[in-house]
Amino acid sequence: MYCQVIVDIAHEDVDRVFTYRIPDGMQLEIGMRVHVPFGHRKDIEGVIVEITDTCDLPDARVREIKEALEDYPAVLPELIGIARYIKAHTFCTLSQALRLMYPAQMRGQRIREKKQQAVRLLLKDAAYSEGLARQKRAPRRYAILEELNGAEGHELLVSELCNRLGNCRDALRALDTAGAIEIYTRELQRKPYNEIEALSEKDPVLTEQQETVLSQILPAIDKGSGQFLLYGVTGSGKTEVFIRAVRHTARLGKTAIVLVPEIALTPQMVAWFRSRFGEDAAVLHSRLSAGERFDEWRRIRRGEVHVVIGARSAIFAPLTNIGLIIIDEEHEQSYNSDTTPQYDARVVGQQRCISSNAVLLLASATPSMRSFAMAGRGDYTLLEMPQRVHGRPLPDVHIIDMRRELTMGNKSVFSAQMLTGLTHCIESGKQAILFVNRRGFATFVSCRNCGYVVHCEHCDVSMTYHSVGNTLRCHYCGQEAPVPETCPKCGSTHIKYFGIGTQRVEDEMHKLFPNVTTLRMDNDTTQQKDAHAILLRRFQRKEAQVLIGTQMIAKGLDFPDVTMVGIVAADAMLNLPDYRSAEKTFQLLTQVAGRAGRADAKGEVFLQTYTPEHYAIQSASRQDYRAFFEAEMARRRQIKYPPFTVIVRNIYESLDEEKVHVSAQSGFDLIQAFFDRRQYLQKYIVYLRVMPCPIYRIKDKFRWEVLLGIIDIPVCEEAVGKMSEISGIPIENVAVLCQINPSSLM
């Protein structure tokens, strides 16, 4: 017997199968990881992707498999198919795609099951009394037998016995030799959620909307096919729909994956699911330790759970017999991986559904442009939940024009109106959330008097302020401009770069309300493991009345006592140099506003902005997704951005400033030469440029990029592949990374 192996080397030259002979008596299956000799190296890890009876190569040239690394296939056959799909669509090697399928620490065997030694009593009844009598003169052995006889199941951990009786390993060995007991190792499972109180929630009576939606989803699960986009406003009760659909799937003996964005995978969310599924659910997310992750993965692999809840990479959970894949907050950019392999969890999910006859359910209060457009084309069945549970009203949103505040002499971060709302909320003993968008580092220049923002003359994005050289630069075309001293529109001198951070808001809060307790949640305060969870729990327990935070507080949280939400500066996101800034702003504002008034009290949202007329702000204030979608699609079509185009970005990084520039330039020349040879592709190019990255230096490394925008039609895939291939050419001391539709263009 022979097998075809993909060796675990991420290099295009070896990106194919290699044939090995299976030694007599070795039991191997497709998907098992093995050690094989490779070139002059003695053992390299690999994955078996095929087993055959015959082999075309002369026998002398075929080497033998050395050993299997596990006694089960680490990669399910279905997931080998998915890996092949990812290789074909993201231009990575098959070995890289296969690495997605099992915990990283299994490579190089950096992690193992945690084993414990235990002892079991073998003597029963009369034999026990006899055995005990025989040990009369050996008090330690005598005690061991007594302890075991009294223990549940007649077994105990060795560590536990030693705790009770002192070191008794010699006595144990003697008893083992005598055949009175058996010493064995058993696996210890690391459980990531011991600390969470398992709430046992009762099932609520479904609302009419939930019933209607489920009446379409459940039959599809029975049938084993269907792709849905569930568009439900915040608070419409989507989670309950998920739970019922998952339970239905489990009843059919099938399994389900529920993907949620990493930051929404709060202990709240996990506890909620576990309260309904208990041991039947496994959780995978990046805050798990390597050991916990490995143990959860193996629990899933052994078929001990029906449901897996997790962030992006949980889409590769080794479940068999999948009946349902749910992707909550499907618009989240974090479902796109930015590092190789650059897969999109939504696309992988769709593929797994097709190969397993499962139902795909995407859900969001603010669907992505792409998914809503696909639903419009009929690729997905659109399901809608336009009302909140029990007719709870959507919050009132007050748009506050910050340009007027300035003319009235208010230079504080709070407008008069927001301050009134905040005071009212605090005095009535309710809770408030203040949202500050301080993401990334790019800043833009705006006029505090009229709201004017410096935009590029050639592109529909704001220009980015670079403190080095004190200039503005367009990130899309490279155009540079000086920072204006007076506003070109109104002549005011109050024109400068923008940026309010969480710290500044908290300071001002303390000045205005010295007796009010606040919590701050941002990158600085959530560095430690579980910090996120602890802060949220404190807020939930009302240890603080006001929560101040960045986008990490925007999603999925359900605080019944929050009646006021303040958005301190809606513009910070609107003016990021990113074609998706309007979409992101709309999503964020809608999600944040959705935090207010979740229980019985009506919520109020105060939204401060310098551009109150912007369509993203207007439609978000009315939670009018459709109006936003129409306006944004029209703009995207006109300026040729995704979903009409694909953006490919090759980033060059090096400590050597000269070299990184030269390397990027030659990468650019290569792609240009490629297009010169393929005239028919040229008309699809929207832009092709080489320039320094907006963040020019990170960790002492200088950064350049080659940026390609091309119409998203099949014939152009070749160009995307070429960019990827160019990025794979090794350059000494320069790292090159290829990103396709990257989530950030910094």
Site for Zn ion, rule CB under 5 A: 447, 449-450, 452, 456, 458-459, 474, 476-477, 479, 487, 489-490, 492
Stretch that binds ligand ADP, among 227-235, 448-456, 482-490, 562-570 (CB under 6 A): 227-235
As a whole number of angstroms, the distance between CA 361 and CA 376 comes to 16
Smaller CB separation from ligand ADP, 239 or 587: 239
SS3 735: strand
The site map against ligand ADP for 549-578 (x = CB under 6 A) is ---------x--------------------
From the list Zn ion, ligand ADP, none, partner contacted by residue 533 (C-beta under 5 to 8 A by kind): none
CB of 544 closer than 8 Å to CB of 535:
no
From the list ligand ADP, Zn ion, none, partner contacted by residue 389 (C-beta under 5 to 8 A by kind): ligand ADP
Stretch that binds ligand ADP, among 238-246, 337-345, 352-360, 416-424 (CB under 6 A): 238-246
For every residue of 673-723, which 3-state class applies, written as one string?
HHHHHCHHHHCCEEEEEEEEEEEEEECCEEEEEEEEEEECCHHHHHHHHHH
**Judged by CB under 6 A, does residue 139 bind ligand ADP?**
no
From the list ligand ADP, Zn ion, none, partner contacted by residue 456 (C-beta under 5 to 8 A by kind): Zn ion
Among 23, 139, 204, 491, binds ligand ADP (CB under 6 A): 204
As a whole number of angstroms, the distance between CA 51 and CA 60 comes to 19
SS3 373: helix
Structure tokens at 211: 């019933």
As a whole number of angstroms, the distance between CA 274 and CA 272 comes to 6
From the list Zn ion, ligand ADP, none, partner contacted by residue 364 (C-beta under 5 to 8 A by kind): none
Structure tokens at 617: 């702000």
CB of 115 closer than 8 Å to CB of 188:
yes
What is 76-100 written as a DSSP string? -HHHHHHHHHHHHHH---HHHHHHT
Give the ranges where 224-338 is alpha helix by DSSP (H). Answer: 238-251, 267-277, 290-301
Smaller CB separation from ligand ADP, 154 or 537: 537
Provide the sign of the torsion angle of the four alpha carbons 357, 254, 262, 266, taken in this order.
positive
Among 46, 73, 237, 267, binds ligand ADP (CB under 6 A): 237
* Nearest distance, CB of residue 239 and ligand ADP, angstroms: 3
**Judged by CB under 6 A, does residue 226 bind ligand ADP?**
no
The count of residues in the chain is 746
| Nearest of 521, 541, 539, 540 to residue 531 by alpha carbon | 521
Smaller CB separation from ligand ADP, 390 or 510: 390
* Nearest distance, CB of residue 201 and ligand ADP, angstroms: 8
* Nearest distance, CB of residue 205 and ligand ADP, angstroms: 6
Stretch that binds ligand ADP, among 235-243, 372-380, 483-491, 687-695 (CB under 6 A): 235-243
Smaller CB separation from ligand ADP, 558 or 656: 558
* Nearest distance, CB of residue 686 and Zn ion, angstroms: 12
* Nearest distance, CB of residue 563 and ligand ADP, angstroms: 15
SS3 533: helix
Phi, psi of 476 (to 5 degrees): -90, -40
Smaller CB separation from Zn ion, 429 or 491: 491
Phi, psi of 685 (to 5 degrees): -70, 130
Applying CB under 6 A, the site for ligand ADP has a residue count of: 15
Q: What are the CA-CA distances from residue 347 to residues 49, 56, 337, 390 (Å)? A: 23, 36, 12, 34
Smaller CB separation from ligand ADP, 240 or 725: 240
Structure tokens at 546: 């006001």
Within residues 352-411, the interface with ligand ADP by CB under 6 A covers 389
Task: Give bridge partners of residue 256 from the DSSP assignment.
Answer: 307, 324
**Judged by CB under 6 A, does residue 131 bind ligand ADP?**
no
* Nearest distance, CB of residue 596 and ligand ADP, angstroms: 12
Among 31, 235, 566, 709, binds ligand ADP (CB under 6 A): 235
From the list Zn ion, ligand ADP, none, partner contacted by residue 238 (C-beta under 5 to 8 A by kind): ligand ADP
Q: How crowded is residue 538: how many other Cβ atoms within 10 Å of its Cβ?
A: 14
CB of 607 closer than 8 Å to CB of 599:
no
Smaller CB separation from Zn ion, 452 or 465: 452
Stretch that binds ligand ADP, among 125-133, 215-223, 236-244, 695-703 (CB under 6 A): 236-244
* Nearest distance, CB of residue 74 and ligand ADP, angstroms: 35
* Nearest distance, CB of residue 451 and Zn ion, angstroms: 7
User: Which helix or strand (DSSP H or E) is residue 147 part of?
Assistant: helix 139-150
Which distant-in-sequence residues (6+ apart) come within 8 Å of 188 by Cβ?
113, 114, 115, 116
* Nearest distance, CB of residue 364 and ligand ADP, angstroms: 9
What residue ranges bind ligand ADP (CB under 6 A)?
204-207, 210, 232, 234-240, 389, 558
